[in-house]
Structure 1
Amino acid sequence: MKKEIWFGLSILVALVITLFALMPAPADMTNGHVGLLMLALVVIAIMLGFPTAFTLMGMGVMFAFYAFYSRDPGQAWQQTLDLMVQRAYSVMANDVLISIPLFVFMGYLVERANLIERLFKSLHIAMARVPGSLAVATIVTCAIFATATGIVGAVVTLMGLLALPAMLKAGYSTQLSAGAITAGGCLGILIPPSVLLIVYGATAGVSVVKLYAGALFPGIMLAALYVGYVLILAKLKPSVAPPLSEEERRVALPAHATAIMAGGSTRALPGLMGALKRSRPAGVAQRTVVTQLFVALLPALALALFLGLGYRAFTAPADAPTAMVEMGAAQELPPETSYNGGLEEPPIEGGLEEPPVEGALAEPPAAAAPPAAAPIPATEASSTPAQPESQDAPRAYWIAMAICIALAAAFYAYFSFARLEIFKMLLGSLFPLAFMILAVLGSIVFGLATPTEAAAMGAFGGILLAVAYRRFNFGMLKESAHLATKTSAMVCWLFVGSSIFSAAFALLGGQEIINSWVLSMDLTPIQFMLLAQVIIFLLGWPLEWTEIIVIFMPIFVPLLAHFNIDPLFFGLLVAMNLQTAFLSPPVAMSAFYLKGVAPPHVTLNQIFLGMLPFMGIQVLGIILLYTFPAIGLWLPELLYK
């Protein structure tokens, strides 16, 4: 047997002996203590490399049998098997989990379509004059690609192949290069459509739609903090991230652009418009000039569309007052018919007697009839209402419009043919992917589609992108489906194992002991939140986010109601905190992903050192989110009041 196996077994035995030493004497041990022992053994087994799902399942079955056997030995086997079937069926019947394979499939399609190479190249050239441009382009590319895939390993691996050699060749620090790639790749844990948020929502019973809406701005904030750190570091220490040379900034121009520029104009818009009015340069077709002019005018057309939609929204007529009167609302009755009292009849002179008339049973004359009551407002409103008039646009709209037009004029004043080529590169790499992401997330956040429906459309959009970039084939489709099936099966087995484990833990009374222990400390909500986040932060060192979510969230979530903490807000903090599971040594999975594709001279210690500043930025992001909860709660409260 290998030495490593003996070493692992010896550690397991030592930890088990330590656990039994800390446990009370067998005579004083309750089933709750056995549940805590099961929890500790599961964590130890996972740390030693045992499969997480089957470890949870095996431990749960054994300790559930123990719990049932201690109550009724004759029914222990039957009750244990019933528990396994019921928990597995409850996972299979969970509709939220259907979106996981579809989102994963979409991610693998985008990855196999090789869009990340085009995206990184275009962003790299577009940000050539920004300090630390390569690192900034890497983080932005990781954020966009992580949003499209949500698979940390895939993003870190691909960016390690594309961006790391480019940054090292440009003279960037190894630590900064490694930190930018690993931190940017981990953004897929937080930014929707994140599989982590789906798993947390299914575990904690929180709406995935609200989680997606709440995680959008914290994810953007964290990416902005990363970019800000790189910009400041590149400005203060140019040797860490040297600026690109003029040769690397140069953009190759096509023949028609060179021919038009020979006419005297280096700006794209005047040059193309002049080529239409006067004689075109030799060898440049009119169709080419018209096409290039249309592409150059796309930002102006988009701005005009945006301003037009804004004007229409601001000047839309106000809703006409409805003719409906709220039930129970007080209505003024005419003085002749007004009365006091709940259900009593309106008072009339003479009590219940008929009005005196001449003759026996003759009806009272028409002139003696009481005056008709004035019509109530609801009767008046029943007539055809007048058409509401359009409102005037507010002054703020005209100010914003003037600012946008001024910015557009400044943009086109410096819009050269080189920038036109960069814009075309972005148009072919960034905008299709961004449009697909915004369509998927927008349909979820604004309630147009469920996460499952949006994931299905996203997967179809991934196929269309692969077809558009001529990367689609049966082999790519088969490989993407195979990888998505493997990942989805892993997540589903995790849920089955964690469900059985949680049931056994509750049967043994472990949850009650933890609840009593936490409540006995008489913590304030702030202290409990700090304690929970510190525990999750420490668990992120040896464990991955999947184990933390499925094992420990069922322990924390029941305590939130006592401390009056919103599970949605707690989930956002957990999602941001769990990124440390990929950035904190010694079990920083993103570091090992990067090391697997990095050049031989890049050591694991250098990667760890590069990740530490970004892990500090994550802690700062958690503090900002806790101090200003509106960062995560404003959008869900606005959309789902």
Structure 2
Amino acid sequence: MIALIMFLVALALLLFGIPVAFAFGAVAMIFAFFTPDVGFEVFNILPFRIYGIMSNSTLMAVPLFIMMGLILEKSGMAEKLLLSMSSLFKGVRGGLGVSVVLVGAILAASTGIVSASVVMMSVIALPLMLKAGYNKSLAGGTIASSGTLGQIIPPSIILIVLGDVMSVSVGELFMGAVLPGLVLVGLYIVYILIRAFINKEDAPALVSEEKVSVFELLYAIIPPLLLMVAVLGSIFAGIASPTESAAFGVLGGFILATINKTLSKKMVKYALYETMKLSGMIFMILIGATAFSLVFNELGGTDLILEFFSEDIGDVWVFIAIAMLSIFILGFFIDFIEISFIIVPILVPVMHAFGIDPIWFAILIALNLQASFLTPPFGLSLFFLKGAAKDSITTMQIYKGVIPFILLQLVALALVILFPDLVFAFI
């Protein structure tokens, strides 16, 4: 029971806005100090755990993929992609919304950073959609949800973290996420087209006199696609590890920025600074979570949960249902990183006890965690969109717009649960 109280206290601190790493670290120290059977001796192993984190070759891919995404964010690639893609759907109701989803998918496979994708799409796509007469809620929901595709479409930071936490191959996770990611993209597109068909005023056809040549279209689409194929293809073919392909992706990002004539000292400085800041945040959370898990396990928290699911409940589908529901609800209040480092390690022993395939379970978690970026009131994508859009769209319009897309994410999650072959199609 002390372990459960410890867990609830940590969640309470997060809800009060205490920084994640310090909340988990402080709770671990307090409960270790006031529990005689534990004591500070439990932290003797912590330096070795931290050294293991620092020398983990899999986690080295995180800052590299972040840097690749930041370079591409400033390369001007997104703007060219959207303008060129929208010309393909000119005259089609909902066509601009479809192009936003497709560009979001390409950006997801090229950058994998939600903040960069949502802000880019907000600055570039939202004015175009509003000028075309799109319903504000639909426009906001489309941009926010398309920007979060980077959490399931590889290379995804979530998948890298889950691969490390669950001790499974990141390459196999990348391959397993391809089809579920495409299914989600398809669901988004179908929803936009159906809504445009039912209510013509929500998503009118784009009318533009500007003509984009085939050469301009190919020039905008082919470079990021080549980078995507090179990065992911090298992993899928077994030529390179995720870390090695991430390093190649950084080089490819510099090449694309050079082609677009946007490479500068200022841009490189920005990418390095933001990479260091984001990576430092992630690894500080991981260190705090490691301290938390040491005390939590010493208090018998993991054994208690394992006994509850395997003996008291004893049904694999009940466990999956409770696990998915818990992650979904927690996603309303805390970030995917905290859930990955705190909640997922608690579920892993139960997963092994039931004999659940870890690749399939990890993809379910990734799909579920993606919804956390859209669920109000603390969905990060909602904040990114509102911050970039300023007064052109209200917070309530954004909340209203993302609800259908959250439901579509749950539909995708249900499809992967019912049809596990969606995960193993390319493995």
* TM-score, length basis structure 1: 0.65
Paired residue for 1:466?
A: 257
Contact residue 180 and residue 416 of structure 2 kept, 8 A: yes
2:177 pairs with one of 212, 215, 223: 215
Aligned counterparts of 1:164 and 1:571: Cα–Cα separation in 2: 33
Aligned counterparts of 1:425 and 1:150: Cα–Cα separation in 2: 25
Aligned counterparts of 2:345 and 2:390: Cα–Cα separation in 1: 42
Instruction: Flag the 1:144–1:590 CA change in 2: closer, same or farther, 3 A.
Output: same
Q: Does 1:127 align with 2:95?
A: no
Q: Does 1:35 align with 2:22?
A: no
Paired residue for 1:602?
A: 393
Number of matched residues? 427
Contact residue 179 and residue 425 of structure 2 kept, 8 A: no
Q: Does 1:486 align with 2:267?
A: no
How far does residue 65 in structure 1 lie from its aligned partner after superposition? 4.0
Paired residue for 2:307?
A: 516
How far does residue 522 in structure 1 lie from its aligned partner after superposition? 2.7
After superposition, where does 1:201-350 map in structure 2 within 5 Å? 201-245=163-207, 248-251=208-211
Query: For 1:61-82, what per-residue CA distance to the aligned partner results, in whole angstroms no more than 9, with x for missing partners?
Result: 3333445x426xxxx44x2452
How far does residue 422 in structure 1 lie from its aligned partner after superposition? 3.1
Contact residue 143 and residue 223 of structure 1 kept, 8 A: yes
Query: For 1:297-354, what per-residue CA distance to the aligned partner results, in whole angstroms no more than 9, with x for missing partners?
Result: xxxxxxxxxxxxxxxxxxxxxxxxxxxxxxxxxxxxxxxxxxxxxxxxxxxxxxxxxx
How far does residue 141 in structure 1 lie from its aligned partner after superposition? 1.0
Aligned counterparts of 2:125 and 2:398: Cα–Cα separation in 1: 14
Aligned counterparts of 2:59 and 2:300: Cα–Cα separation in 1: 28
Q: Report the 3-state secondary structure (helix = DSSP H, G, I; strand = E; otherwise coil) of the residue aligned with 1:583.
A: coil
Paired residue for 1:540?
A: 331
Query: For 1:600-634, what per-residue CA distance to the aligned partner results, in whole angstroms no more than 9, with x for missing partners?
Result: 15211110010000111111101111111111112
Query: For 1:539-575, what per-residue CA distance to the aligned partner results, in whole angstroms no more than 9, with x for missing partners?
Result: 1111111111111001111001222211110000010
Q: Does 1:50 align with 2:18?
A: yes
How far does residue 599 in structure 1 lie from its aligned partner after superposition? 4.4
Contact residue 310 and residue 354 of structure 2 kept, 8 A: no
Aligned counterparts of 2:375 and 2:305: Cα–Cα separation in 1: 27
2:140 pairs with one of 152, 169, 178: 178
1:63 pairs with one of 16, 23, 31: 31
Q: Does 1:140 align with 2:102?
A: yes
Paired residue for 1:151?
A: 113
Aligned counterparts of 1:568 and 1:83: Cα–Cα separation in 2: 29
Contact residue 42 and residue 295 of structure 2 kept, 8 A: no
Amino acid across the alignment from 2:322: L
Paired residue for 2:377?
A: 586
Contact residue 43 and residue 294 of structure 2 kept, 8 A: no
Aligned counterparts of 2:70 and 2:373: Cα–Cα separation in 1: 20
Query: For 1:444-481, what per-residue CA distance to the aligned partner results, in whole angstroms no more than 9, with x for missing partners?
Result: 01101001110000000000111111111111111101
Paired residue for 2:220?
A: 429
Choose 1 or 2 for highest CA Rg. 1
Amino acid across the alignment from 1:53: A
Query: For 1:420-446, what per-residue CA distance to the aligned partner results, in whole angstroms no more than 9, with x for missing partners?
Result: x43212221111001001110000011
How far does residue 580 in structure 1 lie from its aligned partner after superposition? 1.4
Contact residue 138 and residue 184 of structure 1 kept, 8 A: yes
Contact residue 122 and residue 426 of structure 1 kept, 8 A: yes
Aligned counterparts of 2:121 and 2:182: Cα–Cα separation in 1: 19
After superposition, where does 1:403-422 map in structure 2 within 5 Å? 421-422=212-213
Query: For 1:13-61, what per-residue CA distance to the aligned partner results, in whole angstroms no more than 9, with x for missing partners?
Result: xxxxxxxxxxxxxxxxxxxx22111111111111111111122222223
How far does residue 83 in structure 1 lie from its aligned partner after superposition? 2.6
Amino acid across the alignment from 2:90: A
Query: For 1:213-248, what per-residue CA distance to the aligned partner results, in whole angstroms no more than 9, with x for missing partners?
Result: 100111111011101111111122111111123xx1
Aligned counterparts of 1:83 and 1:426: Cα–Cα separation in 2: 56
Paired residue for 1:161?
A: 123
Contact residue 43 and residue 291 of structure 2 kept, 8 A: no
Higher helix share: 2
Contact residue 150 and residue 189 of structure 1 kept, 8 A: yes
Query: For 1:77-128, what per-residue CA distance to the aligned partner results, in whole angstroms no more than 9, with x for missing partners?
Result: 4x24523312211211211111111111100000011111111100011221
Q: Does 1:448 align with 2:239?
A: yes
How far does residue 173 in structure 1 lie from its aligned partner after superposition? 0.3
Q: Report the 3-state secondary structure (helix = DSSP H, G, I; strand = E; otherwise coil) of the residue aligned with 1:537.
A: helix
Contact residue 96 and residue 205 of structure 2 kept, 8 A: no
How far does residue 131 in structure 1 lie from its aligned partner after superposition? 2.5
Contact residue 13 and residue 23 of structure 2 kept, 8 A: yes
Paired residue for 1:496?
A: 287
Aligned counterparts of 1:163 and 1:146: Cα–Cα separation in 2: 16
How far does residue 583 in structure 1 lie from its aligned partner after superposition? 1.1
Amino acid across the alignment from 1:481: L
Amino acid across the alignment from 1:436: L
Amino acid across the alignment from 1:626: I
Paired residue for 2:413?
A: 622
Aligned counterparts of 1:522 and 1:175: Cα–Cα separation in 2: 42
Q: Which runs of 5+ in 2 are unaligned?
A: none
Contact residue 61 and residue 80 of structure 1 kept, 8 A: no
Instruction: Flag the 1:212–1:225 CA change in 2: closer, same or farther, 3 A.
Output: same
Contact residue 160 and residue 598 of structure 1 kept, 8 A: yes
Aligned-residue identity in percent: 36
Instruction: Flag the 1:59–1:83 CA change in 2: closer, same or farther, 3 A.
Output: farther
Amino acid across the alignment from 1:121: L
Q: Does 1:439 align with 2:230?
A: yes
Paired residue for 1:92?
A: 54
Kindly report the root-mean-square deviation, in angstroms, between the aligned alpha carbons of the 2 structures.
1.4
Amino acid across the alignment from 1:64: A
How far does residue 249 in structure 1 lie from its aligned partner after superposition? 4.7
Contact residue 69 and residue 116 of structure 2 kept, 8 A: no
Aligned counterparts of 2:21 and 2:217: Cα–Cα separation in 1: 42
Contact residue 148 and residue 437 of structure 1 kept, 8 A: yes
